[in-house]
Structure 1
Amino acid sequence: MEQQKVIIIGAGISGLAAAFYIKKRKPEAKVTVLEASGRIGGKIKTVRRDGFVIECGPEGYMARKPALTNLINDIGLGDQLVHSGTGTYYIYVNHQLRKMPAGSVMGIPTKLLPMVTTGLVSPWGKLRAALDLLIPHVYRDKDISLKEFFERRLGSELVTNMIEPLLSGIYSGNLADMSLEATLPQFAAIEKKHRSLILGMKSIQPPKQAGTPKKRSGQFLSLSCGLDVLTEKLASYADEIRLNTPVAHVAPRSVTLEDGTVMNADAIILATSPKQFGPLLDFSEAWSLTNDKRTSTASVAFAFNKNEVEPIDGTGYVVSRKEGLTITACSFMDRKWSYAAPENGTLIRTYVGTADNASIVEESDEVIEKKALADLRKIGNIGTPLFSVITRQIDTMPQYTVNHNQRVQAFEDALEKMSGVYACGAMLHGVGLPDCVDTAMHVAEKAAKALTDEERTQTNSKR
């Protein structure tokens, strides 16, 4: 029987994970990965310089989501897994770094005293937030924006000063656009069960046991060897990887490259940027995802001698938009990840660009560096960096706008009609690394099962 062929479009984490899982299920199949750019890894990129380990894209992932941890263990990198460090997290608001109140989860208070005493919110803002204990349900099984949900429950001041800086830093989006059901469905479920967010969040916090030692590891994981080692190891499972090979069109069992070459395959997996779904597949539901909102952001990693930076007793801070600064967040990377800087060094990573104003991302490296450094110096005592590394993500961060889940379901239903064509990636079921891996695994298993069924059918027909 002729060897079965699988083509995967896109060599980011989703495509490479799909290649691994296809080979795990169908080792005899030939897996070819096509990548339009000149490198593998997608958003994952690691720079090593003078003892600093700089993650230019994702720096880690949430430990509570097991898909990526399982994959890392499967490929033999489990001994490189490290937990993030812990420490106080701050919000820069009203021209001052202020500690996130103890017990707050994504800005939602669960303890009374820390909330009463915080300087993050005015007395009126605290009273308004307390109305969450009384007001009726806001979410009624119909998708709404995060902004509408949280403001109606907790008031605009708490959202502006606490929730928005945190969530915008995670999702690089505007809360007025972002879907409650697609981004934070757990809060919809909590409100549905408990009505009050504050009471609901409090009920799910584990009780503190007397004599329990303070938690010393953070809720994130990463690889001490650098995340690019993960993508390089995954790439080794593919039979062939073609770089600088853009695809023009996808049809059942065939892929047409931009140079006109047609490649045939028994299964095709799209793991590309969401902006390519429409052009490659050319049906309305794919165009709907392609035309959805995406954002552009940039990060600036500054390497310093340790004595050039005033230390803080935390891992970083986010910045309220009303402060009018260029930077939206700042992480002290060597406090989060001990391997990120040499013993006498400090690595600070700042983020610029918002969903509403990405113009800074288009500026020159010199302008971005200058503005980011000026903002850092407004907030703390910062000296002269040894060097900086600037990374831009242009039009690549998917925004899960209201009714995102419904659009994804319509897309996947339409894709079912294209026999042997599958899709995964950050556009669909989560933007985090574990989400991408989980979706890739399920798609690869679905494709592998179809290949096995087809193989069995052909074998039986020859008998």
Structure 2
Amino acid sequence: MNRLNQIAIIGGGIAGLAAAHYAKVAGAHVTLFEAQDRLGGKIKTIYRDGFTLETGPDGYMARKPTLTTLITDLGLEDQLVRSKTGTSYIYVRQQLRQMPEGSVMGIPTKFWPMVKTDLFTWRGKFRAGLDLVIPRVYKGEDISLNRFFRTRLGSEVVDTMIEPLLSGIYNGTLDDMSIESTFPQFITIEQKTRSLILGMKALTPPVQAGVKPSETGKFLSIDQGLGALVEGLRPSIDRLVLNTYVKSVRPHEITLADGTVEQFDGIILATSPNMLGPLLGLPEAERLSSLKRTSSLTVLAAFDESEVEALDGTGYVIAKSEGNALTACSWMHKKWPHMAPQGKALIRMYIGSEYVSPLLHEDDDTIASFALRELRRIQKVGTPLFTKVERHVQTMPQYEVGHKQDVRAFEEALSKWDGVEACGAILHGVGLPDCVDSAKQAVNNLNLKQGVMV
């Protein structure tokens, strides 16, 4: 094809916006349809009284390079900031306790910190040590994270450290989550070294001489907030159609809710997974649309810094055994100093999924008051300057056992439709870089310009 292609993108979250960018780079004319009145999807940055409030994701894993490359391509590299670090905590047995030094995603990699920690009983420590001799758990068929980690490290380490850390990423439970689709790297480690502890220890890089812990944060963001990324991607869209639902998609053709039919050379679906089935009518798409998704509530509270108990670090996770409605708390002014003015503090609280449903339809003040009561069970805080509540309703796809096979079946079915591709969090990862990766792949699959790949 030697002419510019007319490309339609359905969905204006990070995947759709990244797809628009890569399509534009490849020489396409881009039309983007979004059902809501704004772009960004889960990304939403609010500025208030000198605070930068991220009501959705606040950053991304620095080790995944695609998003950093995209930010650089947009000319925003001078706005990149790295998260600060400090002591990591887990709230268990009614106390904030330090996470053992050397633990990676809840897996211990150093002997003495594990021996000395008060997070676990001696029985729990001994059971975790059996990882060094236990045979491989993964046998070539998908299993849950719960089965994998409890077999390798025992229930105490899972309940106290691994479950609060890992399940929070997907806002789900280890019982449901697929090892193949969520953390396949643990399969690779187990197959290579058999022991997770030995395998993770081998992968952990040594601390560089002269580098302070505060300079080695694992996350990146933009100092103006991730909303700046959304605005940086907006010019890639030639024609933006907001507040508009797409009713159905067929090869090279979309039908809008009002019956209007439009033709395109290529179509990229970057929509919510619950729309894939209705849009395509494929059984494999219906399967993805029917998969479990969870809701969440995020509450941000701004304070004078003197009103917040001074603790080192950037926050903590909370063991389910504590019966607290919060799953985690981030001290955003310490994790991302650019988010709060000097002398102010910004705390972000995450309400656990089992508490979300009865709270979703309450007013913001009721939800914020509830979250603050739960927070005060753990740490001392005064009266907030203001609060902000964000509801994420049915937005987090659950990668349950067998998810990889469901995605493969969907992609095989869609490959038979000329000029139609899909991307987004339902497929190969829920993180921002994962969504950007899938968007780039979707554009490449369309072969927008003969001989040109982005």
Distance 2:307 2:393 in 1: 32
Distance 1:346 1:321 in 2: 26
Residue 3 of structure 1, CA deviation:
5.5
Residue 431 of structure 1, CA deviation:
0.5
Q: What residue is the counterpart of 1:64 in the other structure? A: 63
1:83-122 aligned at under 5 Å gives the runs: 83-122=82-121
Q: What residue is the counterpart of 1:444 in the other structure? A: 443
Q: What residue is the counterpart of 1:142 in the other structure? A: 141
Q: 1:439 to 1:2 in 2, by over 3 A?
A: closer
Which amino acid in the other structure matches residue 285 of structure 2?
A
SS across alignment from 2:450: helix
1:271-286 aligned at under 5 Å gives the runs: 271-286=270-285
Which amino acid in the other structure matches residue 16 of structure 1?
L
Q: What residue is the counterpart of 1:156 in the other structure? A: 155
Which amino acid in the other structure matches residue 442 of structure 1?
Q
Residue 230 of structure 1, CA deviation:
0.7
Residue 321 of structure 1, CA deviation:
0.9
1:239-388 aligned at under 5 Å gives the runs: 239-354=238-353, 358-388=357-387
Q: 1:402 to 1:214 in 2, by over 3 A?
A: same
Residue 359 of structure 1, CA deviation:
3.2
Asked whether the equivalents of residues 46 and 54 of structure 1 are also in contact (C-alpha less than 8 Å), the reply is: yes
SS across alignment from 1:153: helix
Residue 257 of structure 1, CA deviation:
0.7
Asked whether the equivalents of residues 297 and 356 of structure 2 are also in contact (C-alpha less than 8 Å), the reply is: no
Residue 89 of structure 1, CA deviation:
1.1
Distance 1:248 1:233 in 2: 29
Which amino acid in the other structure matches residue 185 of structure 2?
Q
Residue 361 of structure 1, CA deviation:
3.3
Q: 1:23 to 1:84 in 2, by over 3 A?
A: same
Q: What residue is the counterpart of 1:167 in the other structure? A: 166
Asked whether the equivalents of residues 250 and 280 of structure 2 are also in contact (C-alpha less than 8 Å), the reply is: yes
**1:53 correspondence with 2:45:** no
Distance 2:107 2:329 in 1: 21
Q: What residue is the counterpart of 1:420 in the other structure? A: 419
Q: What residue is the counterpart of 1:434 in the other structure? A: 433
Which amino acid in the other structure matches residue 202 of structure 2?
S
Distance 1:339 1:292 in 2: 38
Asked whether the equivalents of residues 302 and 389 of structure 1 are also in contact (C-alpha less than 8 Å), the reply is: yes
Which amino acid in the other structure matches residue 20 of structure 2?
A
SS across alignment from 1:379: coil
Q: What residue is the counterpart of 2:11 in the other structure? A: 10
Asked whether the equivalents of residues 300 and 346 of structure 2 are also in contact (C-alpha less than 8 Å), the reply is: yes
Residue 206 of structure 1, CA deviation:
2.2
SS across alignment from 2:88: strand
Q: What residue is the counterpart of 2:211 in the other structure? A: 213
Distance 2:69 2:211 in 1: 28
Q: What residue is the counterpart of 2:22 in the other structure? A: 21
Q: What residue is the counterpart of 1:199 in the other structure? A: 198
Q: What residue is the counterpart of 1:176 in the other structure? A: 175
SS across alignment from 1:303: strand
Asked whether the equivalents of residues 5 and 448 of structure 2 are also in contact (C-alpha less than 8 Å), the reply is: no
Asked whether the equivalents of residues 87 and 312 of structure 2 are also in contact (C-alpha less than 8 Å), the reply is: yes
Which amino acid in the other structure matches residue 122 of structure 2?
P
Which amino acid in the other structure matches residue 109 of structure 1?
P
Which amino acid in the other structure matches residue 401 of structure 1?
E
Asked whether the equivalents of residues 137 and 195 of structure 1 are also in contact (C-alpha less than 8 Å), the reply is: yes
Q: Normalization by structure 1: what TM-score?
A: 0.94
Residue 186 of structure 1, CA deviation:
0.6
Deviation readout 1:86-111 (Å, 9 max, x if unpaired): 11111111111011100001111111
Asked whether the equivalents of residues 296 and 356 of structure 2 are also in contact (C-alpha less than 8 Å), the reply is: no
Q: 1:450 to 1:237 in 2, by over 3 A?
A: closer
Q: Single out whichever of 348-357 and 261-270 deviates more from structure 2.
A: 348-357
Residue 113 of structure 1, CA deviation:
1.2
Residue 400 of structure 1, CA deviation:
0.7
Deviation readout 1:347-399 (Å, 9 max, x if unpaired): 00000132686433343322211111011111111000010111111001011
Deviation readout 1:33-67 (Å, 9 max, x if unpaired): 00001111000000100000000100000000000
Asked whether the equivalents of residues 11 and 269 of structure 2 are also in contact (C-alpha less than 8 Å), the reply is: yes
Which amino acid in the other structure matches residue 295 of structure 1?
T
Q: Normalization by structure 2: what TM-score?
A: 0.96
Q: 1:208 to 1:10 in 2, by over 3 A?
A: closer
Unaligned runs of 5+ in 1: 455-463
Distance 1:131 1:153 in 2: 7
Residue 130 of structure 1, CA deviation:
1.1
The number of aligned residues is 450
Q: Single out whichever of 367-376 and 90-99 deviates more from structure 2.
A: 367-376
Asked whether the equivalents of residues 271 and 424 of structure 1 are also in contact (C-alpha less than 8 Å), the reply is: yes
Asked whether the equivalents of residues 25 and 445 of structure 1 are also in contact (C-alpha less than 8 Å), the reply is: no
Which amino acid in the other structure matches residue 450 of structure 2?
T
Alignment RMSD (CA, Å) = 1.6
Asked whether the equivalents of residues 267 and 451 of structure 1 are also in contact (C-alpha less than 8 Å), the reply is: no
Asked whether the equivalents of residues 295 and 355 of structure 1 are also in contact (C-alpha less than 8 Å), the reply is: no
Distance 2:311 2:207 in 1: 27
